[in-house]
Chain A
Amino acid sequence: MNTPYWNPKNETMPREALDRLKLLKLKRHCEWAIEQSPFHRRKYEKANFHPNQLTSLDDLSRIPVMTRAEWMACQAEKPLFGDLVTATRDQAIRYHLTSGTSGRQPLRVLDGTKDWEWIAEMWCYGFWGFGVRPTDTVFFAFSYGSFIGFWGAHYCCEKIGSLVIPSGNMTTENRVRQIVEMDVTTVCATPTYALRMAQVARELDLDLPSSRVNKLIVSGEPAGSIPAVKRMLEQQWGAKCGDTAGMTEIGTIMIFECSHQPGGTHIIEDNFIEEVVDPETLEPRPYGEEGERIVTSFGRGFIPLIRYRTGDLVMKVPHSTCACGRTGDIYDGGIRGRCDDMKLIRGTNVYPRAVEAIVREYGEIDEFQIVIWRKDDVQDEITVKIEVKPDLDVDVYELLPRMGKDLAAAHEGLRFNVEAVDHQTLPRFELKAKRLVDERGRA
């Protein structure tokens, strides 16, 4: 069957039927959680919630939300996995954990055989939807560790029937050489690392835009849906760039950009309920308004994730915004950032993503870093350090104030310090970039 959809039945299902399907799965999943998970049973009893109270999706708010802090607490109380899991360790085939950045305790996850089929399946919705086919050769620029990352995407491509090239612990140089040598058509990486590979290719005199690569599929950072970053990636690779997003807590992706590239990512609605709420009140936010996403995942039975607060900032728009025919709604601009990303500088809200969107409008910039610091122990300052591409004749004295002006204009007149630093002095990243350094409060 020649179709642009991985699952035509559900991807084009009328909204009313889709809602009925989600309600049915929600009830069954809540029943499963209550029967098998002491964590959920305790939580639901405390909230006087029972699945038979669910008569429509409007009843979702009866289910208490679940937080990462609760998950961490239950793991700490009953190591290693807490009493959230619904099956025994013997029934699992894989173990992964979150990166544990910011000094937080990592989340430990177990999955069974069918869970891994499902994890790969969600990636199939996205990869098939962006045009990956059995004739493709797909390269994974990813280190295959205990971080779940692109593991599921790897299995997805095997399922699709593409030729898969895992790059494990290869150097960046070897990766770009192999991409060209092996006539790779599809490359998967974080946006930051895709830019890094393009930079190294230039240094090696490898002409990526002339290579066979025609699809670049990114994940792991909001940058994949920032138009300036996407433009830059598409120019430097000579390929279409598609964004996807997932999280270790669900093990896979829940949104993907289709080949129509509507400026956002479709929600895989037959497998997830995605809510957008006010982060303070948890009241639902309508189409077109930004809020925090709350996810319910139907796939991973080992760890039921029901109304889980993600901390991601998103804005939902109707599916009709895209002409592809899918009936899954869209997150305009993908994941727009994190609720806790916001920095307050002299009374003005600053989001790293908004800064990146402006910096990436400057094609002369290779890398950048945002540093927040305190002057004389009193005044907060923000400095953007930039590295200019070495092979370009750039008037830095003209560029720095111009960028400062653009940044200020987008931030209620807030003064940004913009500094040029020597090439290759700022850190490079293979996975998620950490370009914001907050020096306030440091000894």
Chain B
Amino acid sequence: MDKDLLGNPTTGLERDVARLYGELKALSVREDAPPCVARNARKALACLWQAANDLDLSFEQLYDLGV
């Protein structure tokens, strides 16, 4: 992700947050994940959603992922 929601260039830290956020989203929908992975991944995703929201990297709802 090169730009934030306002079109400003992202920093290295922001790119790391965005990447991790995307990875957690993908992990949350893995059907082969046992409960200990699936539920903790969702919990972590909720936290990263907050960081991505705070840094204006993403603004979306995640209820369809159970978050």
Which B residues, 14 to 67, have Cβ-Cβ distances below 8 Å to chain A?
Answer: 42-43, 45-47, 49-50, 53-56, 59-63, 66-67
Q: A9-B55, A10-B56, A25-B59 are in contact. Are A114 and B67 (CB under 8 A)?
A: yes
Shortest distance between the CB of A4 and any CB in chain B (Å)? 16
Q: Does A260 contact B (CB under 8 A)?
A: no
Q: Are A113 and B50 in contact (CB under 8 A)?
A: no
Kindly state the separation between the CA atoms of A326 and B66 in the bound complex, as whole angstroms: 35
Contact A9 B56 (CB under 8 A): yes
Q: Tell me if A112 is interfacial: C-beta within 8 Å of chain B.
A: yes
In the docked arrangement, what's the CA distance between A118 and B53, Å?
Answer: 9
Docked complex Cα distance between A17 and B53 (Å): 15
Q: Closest approach, in angstroms, between the C-beta of B13 and any C-beta of chain A?
A: 10
A24 interfacial contact with B, CB 8 Å: yes
> Looking across the interface, which residue of chain A has its beta carbon closest to that of B14?
A9
Contacts A9-B56, A114-B50, A117-B49; is A24 near B5 (CB within 8 Å)? yes
Residues of chain B within 8 A (CB-CB) of A32 are 61
A117 engages B61 (CB within 8 Å)? no
List of A residues within 8 angstroms of B59 by Cβ: 24-25, 28, 298
State whether B49 touches A20 (Cβ < 8 A): no
Complex partner residue of B50 from A20, A121, A301, CB under 8 angstroms? A121
Known: A10-B56, A301-B63. A113 touches B5 (CB 8 A): no
Nearest-CB distance from A76 to chain B (Å)? 25
Within 8 A of B (CB), among A254-300: 270, 298
A interface secondary structure, majority? helix
Tell me the complex Cα distance, A302–B43, Å: 17
Contacting pair B56 A21 (CB below 8 A): yes
How long is the Cα–Cα vector from A112 to B49 in the complex, in angstroms? 13
**Residues of B with C-beta under 8 A to A298:** 59
Other-chain contact of A302, B6, B55, B63 (Cβ < 8 Å): B63
B54 touches A114 (CB 8 A): no
B54 (CB) vs chain A CBs: closest residue: A7
Q: Are A21's CB and B5's CB within 8 A?
A: yes
List residues of chain B with CB within 8 A of the CB of A91.
63, 66
Q: Give B63's nearest chain A residue, CB to CB.
A: A87
- The complex places the Cα of A32 from the Cα of B61 at a distance, in Å, of 8
Interface size of A in residues (CB-CB distance below 8 Å): 24
B6, A21: Cβ atoms under 8 Å? yes
Candidates A28, A114, A302; contact of B46 at CB < 8 Å: A114
Residue from the list B45, B54, B63, B67 in contact with A10, Cβ < 8 A: B54
Shortest Cβ distance from B47 into A: residue: A117
Residues of B within 8 A of A270 (CB): 54, 56
A211 within 8 A of B: no
Once the chains bind, are A86 and B63 in contact (CB under 8 Å)?
A: yes
In angstroms, Cα B60 to Cα A301, docked, is 9
Interface string of A380-415 (1 = CB under 8 A from B): 000000000000000000000000000000000000
Across-interface contacts of B49 in A (CB, < 8 A): 114, 117
Binary flags per residue of A23-35, CB closer than 8 Å to B gives 1, else 0:
0110010001000
Residue of A nearest to B43 (CB): A113
**Docked complex Cα distance between A277 and B53 (Å):** 29
Instruction: Report the minimum CB–CB distance from B16 to chain A (whole Å).
Output: 15
A75 to B63, CA, bound (A): 21
With contacts A20-B6, A21-B5, A121-B50 taken as known, whether A114 is within 8 angstroms of B62 at the C-beta atoms is: yes
* Nearest CB on A from B53, distance (A): 7
Which residues of B does A touch, CB under 8 Å?
Answer: 5-6, 42-43, 45-47, 49-50, 53-56, 59-63, 66-67
Sample of 15 A–B contacts (CB below 8 Å)? A7-B55, A9-B54, A9-B55, A10-B54, A17-B6, A21-B5, A24-B5, A25-B59, A87-B63, A113-B42, A113-B43, A113-B66, A298-B59, A301-B63, A302-B63
Residue positions of A touching B, CB distance < 8 A: 7, 9-10, 17, 20-21, 24-25, 28, 32, 86-87, 91, 112-114, 116-118, 121, 270, 298, 301-302
Beyond A24-B5, A118-B53, list 12 extra A-B contacts (CB 8 Å).
A10-B56, A17-B6, A20-B6, A24-B59, A25-B59, A112-B62, A113-B46, A114-B45, A114-B46, A114-B50, A114-B67, A301-B63
